[in-house]
Amino acid sequence: MRSWYFSEQKCQNRVCITHARQERANLWEQFKQTDAFKDFVLASVPSQEAHQSQFDGEPTQAQWQAMAGEHYKSQALTHTANTVAEQHQQRGGTETY
């Protein structure tokens, strides 16, 4: 007789647990529909461009052109600075700018 009582109580507990799980699932589904959750998800997910730039090792054509442009601009500025310094020394270093 006692075993029947415990088995009945277990079933009732399982029902309570099932209801509690269902209640939590319902609350979670309701929360996923809120603006706060959507804002959080949007803030934590990178843009497609950021994702691709992080995981694609090969730069795009535009990135290559930008890198080459910066390289040549740096070389041109260095060459200009060296030329000005050489001319300054050739003239005796007396010019003021």
Residue with more model confidence, 31 or 1: 31
Residue with more model confidence, 51 or 5: 51
pTM of the model: 0.34
67 vs 59: CA distance, rounded Å:
10
Annotated domain spans of the chain: 1-45, 58-97
pLDDT at 25: 92
Encode pLDDT of 8-62 as tens digits: 455 566 667 788 889 999 999 999 899 988 888 888 887 887 777 777 667 778 8
Which residue, among 13, 16, 17, has the nearest Cα to 5 in the 3D structure? 13
In degrees rounded to 5, what are phi and psi of residue 73? Answer: -65, -40
Whether 1 has a pLDDT exceeding 50, the answer reads: no
pLDDT at 97: 62
